């Protein structure tokens, strides 16, 4: 069993770390304060190949493996989790489904602009009445000539305000189907930028679809197979969110360790107190376990092996580690941790969402339980 990263993986990891430390981390507090994501950063990420790490070279990507992409997400999220999730949704929830399920014509037309960062991707599945129960979505796709008119409202659309390409799921005569729509499509409008607890540097909007037209050339995969596409996308996406949580947890641990070695009380460093040592020991142990779960899930995906259970385990565990570690960081920093003078409070706010989106922790437990008990996939109901 080899736990070493390859030379290429280490190179990509180092590239992402260098960019994150030099061009993201110094600005993260300001972006958080201003609730702003600098669109120009996407261009810089694309220039270095970090917007399409695991996209095939002939489609404009770097042609690296999925684990390399996960390493990038970890590094970006350590600096700013909002940037991490923006890249995750763009890559694993929009571009990769096009690579996996698209026709040759769709790949050639749609993937290169995404790989170059000229267009940003967004994933539009969730609705007000169908969050965890994604199969209950009510957005309609009504036949119109050689295509469909799509009507409905999507919620919690990451990258919504600046996305150029939307992967939209709607219900038609054959069941749920997936469609790829341009931001310029008449009848498609992102609206209602949400003010969130954390991830202030990423956009989260609703998406109003008022008869938006999708020609047959923009149907992704087979008609009626959209739910399968959505679930397959989430299987990989959960590994990405686990990597985001890993980056947050790592940032909290590194901040806590550094502070404990410098802060003095009662004539000595607080790192010399057993209470702090035990906290840091637990954090270091959980961080190693979290990293192994995430990397193994990505490794399984790269090998073409089933990875849904592994991804769910990684997301379930690592998101809880991120929540605990960010809380411990505030505790170790004391009063300073509760202020914006240090990033601990931002880490704390950013961490919580990793237990919620791309499937709540409760949903991850259901996925794991069904897998280990051999209960099979959930049936897809048809709303009345």
- CATH of residue 260's domain is 1.20.140.10
- Catalytic positions are 358
Residue 379 has pLDDT above 90, yes or no: no
Q: Whole-angstrom Cα distance, residue 184 to residue 154?
A: 17
What are the pLDDT digits (tens) for 265-275?
999 999 999 99
The domain containing residue 209 runs over which residues? 121-224
**Helix, strand, or coil (residue 158):** strand
pTM: 0.93
Domain boundary among 224, 246, 279: 224
- The DSSP secondary structure of 136-147, one letter per residue, reads G---EEEE-SSE
pLDDT at 384: 30
- Considering the domain architecture, whether residues 232 and 357 belong to the same structural domain is answered as yes
Report the percentage of the chain scoring pLDDT > 90: 92
Residues 29-45 have a mean pLDDT of 91
H helix or E strand, kind and range, residue 220: strand 219-220
Looking at the structure, tell me whether residues 261 and 183 fall in a common domain: no
Average pLDDT, the chain: 95
Q: H or E stretch including 323?
A: helix 308-333
Residue 379 lies in a domain: no
Same domain, 132 and 262: no
Please give the pLDDT value at position 38. 82
Number of domains in the chain: 3
Confidence of residue 381 (pLDDT cuts 50, 70, 90): very low
Pairing assessment for the beta strands 204-215 and 147-158 based on DSSP bridges: antiparallel
| Neighbour count for residue 26 (Cβ, 10 Å) | 10
Give the distance, in angstroms, between the CA of residue 155 and the centroid of all CA atoms in the same chain. Answer: 16
User: Has residue 166 been placed in a domain?
Assistant: yes
Give the phi and the psi of residue 53 in degrees, each rounded to 5: -55, -45
Q: Say whether 64 sits in a helix, a strand or coil.
A: coil
Q: Are 241 and 319 in contact (CB under 8 A)?
A: yes
Q: Are residues 336 and 309 in the same domain?
A: yes
Q: Which of 205, 224, 243 is the last residue of a domain?
A: 224
The token pair at 78 is 């350590």
pLDDT at residue 256, rounded to an integer: 99
Region 315-330 average pLDDT: 98
Q: What is the pLDDT of residues 204-243, one digit of tens each?
A: 999 999 999 999 999 999 999 999 999 999 999 999 999 9
Q: How confident is the model at residue 377 (pLDDT cuts 50, 70, 90)?
A: low
Co-location of 110 and 50 in the same domain: yes
Which pLDDT belongs to residue 382?
36
For the segment 314-331, the average pLDDT, to the nearest whole number, is 98
CATH of residue 25? 1.10.540.10
pLDDT surpassing 50 at residue 383? no
Is 14 a member of any domain?
yes
3-state secondary structure 347-372: HHHHHHHHHCCCCCHHHHHHHHHHHH
| 257 & 308 share domain | yes
Please check the confidence at residue 337 and state whether its pLDDT lies above 50: yes
59 within domain boundaries: yes
- Give the whole-angstrom CA distance, residue 99 versus residue 111: 7
Angle at 224 between CA 223 and CA 227, to 5 degrees: 125
Q: What is the mean pLDDT of residues 15-36?
A: 96
- Does residue 367 sit in the same domain as residue 233? yes
Provide mean pLDDT across the span 295-317.
97
Query: 247 and 192, same structural domain?
Result: no
Shared-domain flag, residues 220 and 135: yes
**Domain-ending residue, one of 95, 115, 135:** 115
Strands 165-172 and 121-124: parallel
Please count the residues of the chain: 384
Instruction: Classify residue 247: in a domain, yes or no.
Output: yes
Tell me, yes or no, whether 150 and 234 share the same domain.
no
């Amino acid at each position: 069993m080899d736990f070493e990263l390859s030379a290429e993986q280490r190179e990509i990891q180092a590239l992402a770390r260098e960019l994150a430390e030099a061009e993201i981390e110094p600005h993260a507090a300001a972006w958080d304060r201003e609730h702003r994501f600098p669109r120009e950063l996407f261009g810089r990420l694309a220039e270095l190949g970090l917007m399409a790490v695991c996209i095939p070279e002939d489609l404009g990507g770097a042609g690296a493996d999925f684990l390399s992409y996960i390493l990038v997400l970890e590094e970006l999220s350590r600096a700013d989790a909002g940037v991490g999730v923006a890249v995750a949704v763009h890559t694993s929830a929009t571009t990769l489904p096009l690579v996996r399920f698209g026709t040759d014509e769709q790949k050639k037309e749609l993937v290169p602009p995404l790989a170059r960062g000229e267009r940003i991707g967004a994933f539009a599945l969730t609705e007000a009445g169908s969050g965890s129960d994604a199969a209950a979505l009510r957005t309609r796709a009504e036949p119109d000539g050689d295509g469909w008119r799509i009507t409905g409202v999507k919620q919690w659309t990451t990258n919504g305000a600046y996305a150029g390409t939307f992967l939209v799921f709607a219900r038609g005569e054959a069941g749920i189907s997936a469609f790829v729509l341009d931001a310029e499509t008449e009848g498609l409008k992102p609206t209602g930028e949400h003010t969130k607890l954390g991830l202030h540097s990423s956009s989260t909007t609703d998406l109003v679809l008022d008869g938006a037209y999708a020609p047959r050339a923009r149907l992704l995969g087979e008609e009626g197979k959209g739910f399968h596409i959505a679930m397959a996308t989430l299987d990989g996406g959960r590994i990405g969110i686990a990597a985001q949580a890993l980056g947050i947890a790592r940032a909290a641990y590194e901040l806590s360790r550094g502070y404990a070695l410098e802060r003095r009380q009662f004539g000595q460093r607080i790192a010399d107190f057993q209470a702090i040592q035990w906290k840091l020991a637990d954090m270091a142990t959980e961080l190693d376990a979290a990293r192994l779960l995430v990397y193994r899930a990505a490794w399984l995906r790269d090998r073409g092996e089933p990875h849904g259970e592994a991804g769910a385990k990684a997301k379930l565990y690592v998101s809880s580690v991120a929540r605990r570690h960010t809380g411990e960081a505030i505790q170790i920093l004391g009063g300073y941790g509760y202020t914006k003078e240090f990033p601990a409070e931002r880490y704390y706010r950013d961490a919580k969402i990793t237990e919620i989106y791309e499937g709540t922790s409760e949903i991850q437990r259901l996925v794991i339980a069904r897998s280990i008990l051999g209960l099979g996939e959930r049936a897809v109901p048809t709303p009345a």
